[in-house]
Each structure stands twice: as structure tokens, then as C-alpha cells.
């Protein structure tokens, strides 16, 4: 299953090639994925040596921002953070959160609907205050 994050990154390149999104998108995911993988590698090494560890919140933050393909590869290839159920559940929450953000970014219609909903809700709050 380690091929799935690579397939995702290739799809992002395809979306950019088709003109649906900027080339910055796959580059950002690639850089964040590499950084996240390196964080996993450093944390795995620190765990083995008994040194200072990377906080789990940092690993999750990088995943949420777009580094989840690198996190996935880090878990699979390095066998790091692959057993702790609470960590894995939160990892999948970050993947879902990132996917929702990506869908919003790629869908101008959905962004417009969400913007109108926020505007209506904001107007209602202003009237209450």
C-alpha cells in the first residue's frame, strides 16, 4: 500500500497539468511529504537511541498541512508509529481533514457555497450582538 501516496502525488501533478490547480500544489505536497518523512525518520532514530522525540502533535500537524503521504510512507517503510492505535486514528483524521481542504481548494463552486454560508452565519451573529 506504500504506492498509494505516490499515486496521490501523481494525481496532483495531473490536476496541475490539466490546469485545474497551480503547480505549487503538487510541489507543496511533495516538500511537505518529504519533510514529514524525514521527521518520522528522525523520530524513529531518536526512539531507538533514547534521545529527544518529536512530539506527536508536530507529526500530526505536518500530516494535516499536506505531508500525510510522507507520513504514510514513514509508517510503512520505517515501521514507525504503525502500532499505536490512538496515533493511527488521529493520523487518519488528519488525512480526512487535509482531503476536505483539498476538495474545497479544487472546487470553486463549493468554496462559493461555503462562503455564502459563512456570510449568512456571520450576519446572524452580528445581529445577535
pTM for this one? 0.82
Instruction: Note the pLDDT of residue 45.
Output: 96
User: Can you list the residues of the chain whose pLDDT is less than 50?
Assistant: none
Instruction: Note the pLDDT of residue 40.
Output: 96
How distant is the alpha carbon of residue 100 from its chain centre? 10
Instruction: Note the pLDDT of residue 65.
Output: 96
Instruction: Note the pLDDT of residue 124.
Output: 61
Q: Report the distance separating Cα 4 and Cα 6, nearest Å.
A: 5
Q: How many residues does the chain have?
A: 129
Strands (E), the chain: none
Amino acid at each position: 500500500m506504500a504506492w498509494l501516496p505516490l499515486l496521490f502525488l501523481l494525481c496532483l501533478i495531473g490536476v496541475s497539468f490539466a490546469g485545474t490547480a497551480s503547480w505549487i500544489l503538487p510541489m507543496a505536497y511533495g516538500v511537505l511529504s518529504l519533510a514529514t518523512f524525514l521527521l518520522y525518520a528522525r523520530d524513529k532514530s531518536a526512539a531507538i537511541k533514547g534521545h529527544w522525540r518529536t512530539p506527536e502533535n508536530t507529526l500530526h500537524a505536518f500530516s494535516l498541512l499536506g505531508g500525510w503521504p510522507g507520513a504514510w510512507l514513514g509508517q510503512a517503510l520505517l515501521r514507525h508509529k504503525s502500532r499505536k492505535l490512538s496515533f493511527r486514528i488521529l493520523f487518519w483524521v488528519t488525512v480526512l481533514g487535509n482531503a476536505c481542504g483539498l476538495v474545497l481548494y479544487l472546487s470553486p463552486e463549493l468554496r462559493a457555497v461555503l462562503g455564502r454560508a459563512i456570510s449568512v452565519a456571520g450576519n446572524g451573529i452580528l445581529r445577535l450582538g
